[in-house]
Structure 1
Amino acid sequence: MDRERAMAMVEGVLKHLIDGADEWPLSMVDEVYVFGSFARGALQPGDVDLLVEFHGDDPRWDELVIEGLSYGRDPHRVLRAAMVGRKRGVQFLFNARRRVDFDLTLLWQRGDDLATALTRLHAIAADPNAGRAERHAMLPQFEGLDHRMPRSVREYLIEGIEAGAITVERLTLQDRDIDHPLVDKHVHSRWSPASPLHRAGRAVFANLLERGLDPAQLHLHGRDVDNIVTPYFAGFSLRYLRSMARCLTEFEGKEWLEVVNPTRTKDLDALRILPGSPAALERLSRVRL
C-alpha cells in the first residue's frame, strides 16, 4: 500500500484506541508502538506493523484465554476488532516488547491524548531509500516468518542446524478434503470449524496421509491422536517448540512439523524439523529455549 493510505490506517487505529480507552477491551491497552517498513519511512510499506502492550488482569480476558485453550480461538481478536474492525493492512504483535530485536517507535501510552499520538505518528519522516531493516539470526527458511519467530527461537534452531542436531526445511501445508474417521474425531473434538487451529490441524493430517503415514502415530499440539507411540509431532505458533529436541530424542521422534502462524485464510507456512546426529540432538535437548 502507499504511505498515505498506511498513515490514514494508523490514524484510525489511534482514534479508535483513544475514543475507547476507558471501555473494555481497549481499557486493557497500555502502549502502542509502530515498527517495520512504515516506521522506517518506506513510501510503499507492506502491512503496517503495530506492537500493543496490554495488561490482562480482567475476568473477561481470562474467559477469552480459557475459550482459546478449549476451542483454538485467538483471544487477541477482540483487541484487533476494537482497533481496526474488519479492515486489513495492519498486523499486530501483543506483549512482545521485551522479546523483539528490532526498533520500536512509541505512538501512544495510556494518558496521552489524540493530538500527542498523532504528533508522534507524523514525526516519522518518509524516506525514499528505506528498505528492510537488518535482521539477525536469519535463514532462508525463516523468510517472512521472522516477525512471528522471536530471535531466541531463530538462534536456537540455527544452533541446532550448525551442530548437526537437526535439519530444517520450509513448506506450505495445503488444504485438502480428508475422509478419515480418526482425523474427523480428533480435530472436531478440539477446535471449532471456524478456528485457524482446526484448519491447521486438518492440513497437518493431510500432509501425513499424502505421505502414507498413519495419523494414529501423531502427537498434535500437545496431545496424542490415538497411539501411545507417536514418532510424529506437530505444533502450532511455537507453543510447544521447547519440547522438540526432547521429543526427537527420548521419544524417538522422526520429525517435528511446526505451523508457525495458523491462519484462517493465508498460507499455512510450516517448518519441518528432522533429527540429525543423536549426540548433537541430545546436547540440543539440554539447551533452554
Structure 2
Amino acid sequence: MERSRAVALIEELLGHLLEGQGERPLSLIREVYVFGSFARGALQPGDVDLDVEFDKDWAWSSAFVDALSAGHDGYLALRRPLAGRRRGMQFMFNGHEAADFPMTLLWRRGDDLSTALARLHEIKPDPTAGRAERHAMLPQFEGLDRWLPRFVRAHFVEAIDRGAITVERLTLPDAEPRHLAHPVVDEHLWMRWPPTSPLYRSAGAVFAYLIDRGVDPAGLVLHKRKVGRGATPYFASFAMSYLRGIPWALTEGGGREWIEVVHPVKRGELHALRVLPASVPKLKELDWFR
C-alpha cells in the first residue's frame, strides 16, 4: 500500500484507542508498537505490523477461552475497536518482550493523542527501505508464518540446529465416525468442546492421527489435560497456547512427540507441526518460549 494510506490507518487506530481508554477492553492496553517495513520507512509497505501490549485479567482470560471454544477469534474484542473492519493491519499481542527484532513505540498508557501522533510522524520515509526479510524460516513453516511469529520460529530453528528436536509438517485429516466413537475419545471431546468448535475438530483430528498409527488415545495430554489415567507419552495443543511446555514434555515428561495444530479452523486444512525429541540432554539445555 502507499505509505500515506498506512499513516492514515495508524492515525485512525490511535484515535480509536484514545477515545476508548475509559472503557474495556481498550482500557486494558498498556502500549502500542509498530514494526516491520513501515517502521523502517518503506514507501510501499505491506500490511502495517502492530504489537499491542495489554493486561490480562480473569474476565479477559475467560472471554478469550469462550471465544476460542466457540470458534471465534479470541483477540477480536481488541482488534475490532482498534481497527474496525479496515484491512491492511496485522496485529501481534503481547509480543514485545520476546521479539528479537526492533519495534518503535507509538503510544504508552498515559500519553495523549498528540504525543502518539508525534511519534508516528517521527518515523521518516526511507526510499532505500524495502519489505522485511523473513527470518527463521524453514520449509515446515511455509504458509504458516502468519500464525508462527518470528520469535517462535527462531526457537524452533535453534532447537533443530542444536540437534535437540526434529520438526515435521503434517496436514491432519478430519476424524471419521469410527474415531469419534472410541469411548475415550467420545467422553473427552464431549466434556470439553461443542462439536461446532474448531478445537473439537482439531482434537478429533489429533485423536484420529494417533489411532490410525496404533497409539492408545488414553496416552495423550491434549491441550494441557490428560485424556487417560496412565502414562502419557504423547502431547498435543492448539494455536501455540502451551509451547513453553515442549522442553519439559519431551524430557521430564517422558514424551515421545508433541503435535501442535498451528491454526485451528472450522473448515479447510488443519496444519500441524510434529515435534520429536532428538537429544534429551540437548533439550534440557534449551531456554526457549520463556
Relative to structure 1, the CA distance from residue 287 to residue 116 in structure 2 (aligned partners, 3 Å threshold; closer, same or farther) is closer
Quote how far apart the aligned CAs of 1:219 are. Answer: 1.9
Q: Which residue of 2 aligns with 1:51?
A: 51
Quote how far apart the aligned CAs of 1:209 are. Answer: 5.1
Q: Which residue of 2 aligns with 1:141?
A: 140
SS of the counterpart of 2:250? Answer: helix
CA contact (8 A) 1:70 1:191 kept: no
- Counterpart CA distance in 2 for 1:48 and 1:101 is 18
2:18 is aligned with what amino acid? I
SS of the counterpart of 2:244? Answer: helix
- Counterpart CA distance in 2 for 1:157 and 1:191 is 29
- Counterpart CA distance in 1 for 2:67 and 2:215 is 26
Say whether 1:102 aligns with 2:87.
Answer: no
Output one character per residue of 1:25-78: Cα deviation in whole Å (capped at 9) or x when no partner. Answer: 21222221111223223344333221112234xxxx412313445774565432
- Counterpart CA distance in 2 for 1:156 and 1:65 is 26
Q: Which residue of 1 aligns with 2:91?
A: 92
SS of the counterpart of 2:160? Answer: helix
Q: Could you state the TM-score of these two structures normalised by the residue count of structure 2?
A: 0.76
SS of the counterpart of 2:8? Answer: helix
Output one character per residue of 1:51-108: Cα deviation in whole Å (capped at 9) or x when no partner. Answer: 112234xxxx412313445774565432222212344442222233222111112222
- Counterpart CA distance in 2 for 1:3 and 1:200 is 39
2:24 is aligned with what amino acid? W
1:62 is aligned with what amino acid? W
SS of the counterpart of 1:10? Answer: helix
CA contact (8 A) 1:72 1:190 kept: no
Q: Which residue of 1 aligns with 2:59?
A: 63
Say whether 1:20 aligns with 2:16.
Answer: no
- Counterpart CA distance in 1 for 2:118 and 2:15 is 13
CA contact (8 A) 2:18 2:113 kept: yes
2:108 is aligned with what amino acid? Q
Q: Structure 2: which 5+ residue stretches go unaligned?
A: none
Output one character per residue of 1:11-33: Cα deviation in whole Å (capped at 9) or x when no partner. Answer: 32112111112222212222211
Residue correspondences, number? 280
Say whether 1:114 aligns with 2:113.
Answer: yes
Q: Which residue of 2 aligns with 1:161?
A: 160
Output one character per residue of 1:160-201: Cα deviation in whole Å (capped at 9) or x when no partner. Answer: 323433211234445x36421354543342234565534433
Quote how far apart the aligned CAs of 1:231 are. Answer: 3.1
Higher mean C-alpha deviation, range 19-28 or range 88-97: 88-97
Quote how far apart the aligned CAs of 1:269 are. Answer: 4.1
Q: Which residue of 2 aligns with 1:8?
A: 8
Q: Which residue of 2 aligns with 1:236?
A: 238
1:224 is aligned with what amino acid? K
**Which of residues 242, 257, 260 in structure 2 aligns to 1:258?**
260
Relative to structure 1, the CA distance from residue 101 to residue 163 in structure 2 (aligned partners, 3 Å threshold; closer, same or farther) is closer
Percent identity (aligned): 52
CA contact (8 A) 2:262 2:271 kept: yes
1:27 is aligned with what amino acid? S
Cα RMSD (Å): 3.5
Relative to structure 1, the CA distance from residue 4 to residue 210 in structure 2 (aligned partners, 3 Å threshold; closer, same or farther) is farther
